[in-house]
């Protein structure tokens, strides 16, 4: 059995090469999956491109996100509830063309949250603060705001339907 002893300088050179190789591979490892993640804000939509041969899309939890296939492989992802789910895109034969994670988060900008004891109220401040129905708001606030919104929408629809 022979033992090869490398000079001190050669040992450092080998270690440096491994270190550089590790740093070059690290960004690839961390960013390799970013194309597989679709991040969308609740109550907002995002358009993404999938292969043109997609004919069927399956969503893991449709309460979190809604996905609508458009011609040419364009897909509209709409955030419906907080959390994460996935989307599987298949062709006509059932072959999986894409499997993406969908992360739905709350809005971060121009939102004000008011706590009255344990009850939460959300306001959208763009630039004037107005009530906003958001998952997690107190029941009385949520129901009152949603009720007013429904009445306003019904009146607007009725006014638009009259000749």
What would the two tokens of residue 28 be?
């690839």
What would the two tokens of residue 105 be?
């988060």
Residue 43 backbone phi and psi in degrees, to 5 = 70, 15
Greatest alpha-carbon span in the chain: 99
What is the overall mean pLDDT for the chain? 83
8 Å CB contact between 122 and 135? no
Per-residue pLDDT tens digits for 21-58:
555 554 443 333 445 899 999 889 999 999 999 999 99
For the chain, what are the domain ranges? 35-105, 111-156
Classified by CATH at the fold level, domain 35-105 comes out as Immunoglobulin-like (2.60.40)
């Amino acid at each position: 059995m022979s033992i090869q002893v490398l000079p001190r300088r050669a040992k450092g050179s080998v270690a440096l090469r491994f270190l550089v190789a590790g740093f070059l591979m690290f960004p690839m490892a961390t960013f390799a999956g970013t194309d597989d993640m679709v991040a969308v804000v609740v109550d907002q939509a995002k358009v993404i491109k999938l292969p043109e041969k997609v004919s069927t899309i399956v969503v893991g939890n449709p309460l979190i996100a809604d996905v609508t296939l458009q011609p040419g492989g364009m897909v509209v992802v709409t955030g419906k509830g907080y959390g994460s789910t996935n989307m599987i895109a298949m062709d006509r034969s059932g072959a999986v063309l894409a499997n993406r994670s969908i992360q739905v988060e709350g809005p971060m900008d121009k939102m004000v949250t008011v706590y009255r004891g344990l009850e939460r109220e959300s306001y959208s401040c763009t630039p004037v603060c107005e009530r906003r129905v958001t998952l997690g708001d107190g029941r009385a606030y949520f129901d009152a705001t949603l009720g007013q919104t429904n009445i306003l929408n019904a009146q607007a629809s009725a006014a638009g339907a009259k000749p």
